[in-house]
Amino acid sequence: MNTIVIKCGGSILAELSDSFFHSIRELKQNGYKIVIVHGGGPEIGQMLATLDIRSEFVNGLRKTTPEVLEVAEMVLSGTVNKKLVSLLQKAGIQAVGLSGSDALLLQATPIDLESLGYVGEVKNVNISFLTQLLALDYVPVLSPIGIDEELTKYNINADIAAASVAVALHANHLLFVTDVPGILKNGELLPELSTNTVVDLIGEGTIYGGMIPKVNAALSALEFGSLQEITIISGKDSLVALDGSIKGTKIVKELEVI
């Protein structure tokens, strides 16, 4: 089964173009099964501010108290998830919205309860359930809320959740959809980078800010999974070029020297 996992960042959800949805239909017509994992950081931040709930970031991750977790789940699994499902269905794409805690889809463990609270990392993915949905030609749309054996829920970074799903499904492609065309240097798109070059670009400051968690998740997925490449791409345009290739910056696994 040819599978593409698409991670939509919270910053791009309101700007996804008609061309983006058309390209998903095109990929499905070309035989690909699609899974979407989405974020929603800006929406969570807005709701926390509205409810006057204080939150802070530790090493780039939102410290998640029980109060913050309740808001994160409400926003991610409610408002954001259903909005994205609705947009897909309006575009003629069969989609089903799910929380990562449904059917133990994203089984999680805490990263560091003391410093981060209920922030988790993915221990296991229920690929059996996902595969059944894909066989029925649905596009599963997952919010990154995980759950453990004690049914405790965790907020999971969406980049990490998407990478975990892609590795578990042995996906052909993992796309990080954001609000920029890919990785830029001096305003120019870098079409393909090796993992070693990405590390160098982080060190020199070409890759910075919110792009760092994306490329770190990409590097981790390439190191520990069967994926050979990961693409960072804009959701403001079509995902597919005129020649049928996927646009953006492709990060490829470094060839081992024997």
Whether 252 and 195 have beta carbons less than 8 Å apart is answered as yes
Q: Which two three-digit tokens encode residue 16?
A: 């996804």
Per-residue pLDDT band for 258 (boundaries 50, 70, 90) equals very low
**CA–CA dist 182, 234 (Å, integer):** 7
Q: Which residue has the higher pLDDT, 124 or 215?
A: 124
The superfamily CATH assigns to domain 3-252 is Acetylglutamate kinase-like (3.40.1160.10)
Q: State the pLDDT at residue 87.
A: 94
In 3-state terms, what secondary structure has residue 257? coil
State pTM to two decimals. 0.91
What is the Cα–Cα distance from 165 to 142, expressed in whole angstroms? 10
Q: What is the mean pLDDT of the chain?
A: 91
Rounded to 5 degrees, what are φ and ψ at 227?
Answer: -60, 140
- In percent, the amount of the chain with pLDDT more than 70 equals 98
- State residue 232's pLDDT score: 92
- pLDDT at position 257 is 42
Which amino acids are annotated catalytic?
7, 10, 41, 159, 214
Q: Give which of 157, 207, 152 is closest to 183, Cα–Cα.
A: 207
As a whole number of Å, the CA-based R_g of the chain is: 17
| Span between the terminal Cα atoms of the chain, in Å | 31
- For residues 55 and 24, the answer to whether their CB atoms sit within 8 Å is no
Per cent of the chain over pLDDT 90 is 69
Q: 187: pLDDT confidence band, cut at 50, 70 and 90?
A: confident
Count of helix runs (H) and strand runs (E) in the chain: 9, 16
Structural tokens at position 135 = 């066989």
Q: CA dihedral defined by 154, 41, 172, 227, rounded to 10 degrees?
A: -70
Question: Where are the domains positioned within the chain?
Answer: 3-252
pLDDT at 5 over 70: yes
Taking residues 10-15, report their average pLDDT: 84
3-state secondary structure (DSSP) of residue 122 = strand
Highest mean pLDDT: which range of 95-99, 190-194, 214-218, 253-257:
95-99
Q: What is the mean pLDDT of residues 129-158?
A: 96
Q: Residue 255: what pLDDT? A: 57
